[in-house]
Amino acid sequence: MEPRDLSDHSPYVPGRGVEEVARELGIDRSSLIKLSSNENPHGPSPAAVETIREHASNVNVYPKSSHADLTERIAELWDVSPTQVWVSPGADGSIDYFSRAALEPGDRVLVPDPGFAYYEMSARYHHAAVETYELSPADGFEQTAETVLDAYDGERVVYLTSPHNPSGSVVPLDTVEAIADGTDEETLVVVDEAYGEFSPVDSAIGLLDGRDDVAVLRTFSKAYGLAGLRIGYGVVPEAWGGAYARINTPFAANELACRAALAAIDDEEHVDETVETAAWARDHIETALDAPTFDSAGNFVLARVGDGAAVAAAAQERGVIIRDCTSFGLPNCVRISTGTREETREAVTRLNEVLATLDRGVEA
Ligand SMILES: *Cc1c(COP(=O)(O)O)cnc(C)c1O
């Protein structure tokens, strides 16, 4: 027998890994600069690493108190009730939890194009259909209420990404409110704030005080540097709180991940340094790269380079791994994650060499 018909499901295409590329090029991984997956170039919080070591010998036990402690701590951080905090394996896990809690077979979701692939994947796993609203390079991928509401047609879930991946554009809070006001009572507006720490816009979690139609996604993968542990959360309206126990995968957020996240939350120095470096690096890429870039509030910059696949391949030959944006439907763009100051400077130098040698077919 075979799996069900998955022909509508597109596979997730991750950024390329360091080991993979080093092996292919026959070089040492330490000479590679990996700026393809928006990871934290400073590594995880040292406090988180210490906690992981301390708790390694407890992994024979299911994560119960660590999960409860993390839920409480996040609730305190955002001034919401613990039932509103849905801890999950990465923010991706919370996308699945929202799908499970919201979608009936045949429901529709509305997602940005270009956008983060997992919204669509999760909706399809849950037998929902997917509609899109278009964000345009012509206006810097600006996310207005009109853009979303013009495309909206009663979908059950509407996804907003702020800052947006891959462009870095933001959704102001009054725009989130206008979209939530302009959609049906039975539509949930999900604001994905995976890169929220890097952004000047306040979290939409503040809107949940008094609204029952907005939910927010956050993660420890980006600013906190815990991508490999898979830990994130959703924050839901009070009325949704009770659903968690009915839809979550038991113990999916693991012991070490919950403990590390608890330690990372209180390591403000690490997050501050991360955010500061990203702001510097964004600025450096925007000013020093010999290609047009889009204003970004994330830890990455989208650049228009002509043939994105060719530029990414040539960059890789020079030891810089960046994200070709063909899978986002932007074949003339690459996305460059911000590295440390040293990595970013070096990467921009090597990318400019690539750009100078390739016939790019666009004006820089
Ligand atoms: C990275 C990312 C996520 C989720 O990452 P997790 O590692 O699953 O927490 C969610 N949304 C966007 C837009 C992202 O870029």
Higher pLDDT among residues 180 and 30, named by residue: 180
Per-residue pLDDT of 293-309, as tens digits, reads 999 999 999 999 999 99
Regarding the beta carbon of 296 and ligand 1, being less than 6 Å apart is answered: no
Q: What is the pLDDT of residue 364?
A: 43
Regarding the beta carbon of 84 and ligand 1, being less than 6 Å apart is answered: no
The minimum-distance atom of ligand 1 relative to the CA of 222 is 1
pTM (2 d.p.): 0.96
Pocket-testing residue among 99, 118, 296, ligand 1, by greatest number of atoms within 8 A of Cβ: 118
The minimum-distance atom of ligand 1 relative to the CA of 220 is 9
Q: Residue 64 C-alpha to ligand 1 middle, in angstroms? A: 24
Residue of 298, 34, 18, 345 whose CA lies nearest to 165: 298
The minimum-distance atom of ligand 1 relative to the CA of 161 is 13
Instruction: Give me the torsion for CA of 28, 31, 33, 39, rounded to 10°.
Output: 60
3-state secondary structure 130-188: EEEEECCHHHCCCCCHHHHHHHCCCCCEEEEECCCCCCCCCCCHHHHHHHHHHCCCCCE
Q: What is the pLDDT of residue 5?
A: 87
CATH architecture of structural domain 18-37+268-357? Alpha-Beta Complex (3.90)
Q: Residue 93 C-alpha to ligand 1 middle, in angstroms? A: 10
Mean pLDDT of 78-88: 98
End-to-end CA distance of the chain: 53
Regarding the beta carbon of 197 and ligand 1, being less than 6 Å apart is answered: no
Using alpha carbons only, give the angle 68, 72, 78 rounded to the nearest 5 degrees. Answer: 145
Please check the confidence at residue 344 and state whether its pLDDT lies above 60.
yes
Q: Lowest mean pLDDT: which of 42-46, 54-58, 349-353, 360-364?
A: 360-364
Identify the bridge partners of residue 86 per DSSP, sorted by sequence position: 234
Numbered ranges of CATH 3.40.640.10 in the chain:
46-264
Residue having the nearest C-alpha atom to atom 15 of ligand 1: 165
360: confidence class by pLDDT, cuts 50, 70, 90: low
Numbered ranges of CATH 3.90.1150.10 in the chain:
18-37+268-357
| Strands across the sheet containing 320-324 | 33-35, 320-324, 333-337, 300-304
Per-residue pLDDT of 138-178, as tens digits, reads 999 999 999 999 999 999 999 999 999 999 999 999 999 99
CATH of 46-264, one of 3.40.50.300, 1.20.80.10, 3.40.640.10, 3.30.2350.10: 3.40.640.10
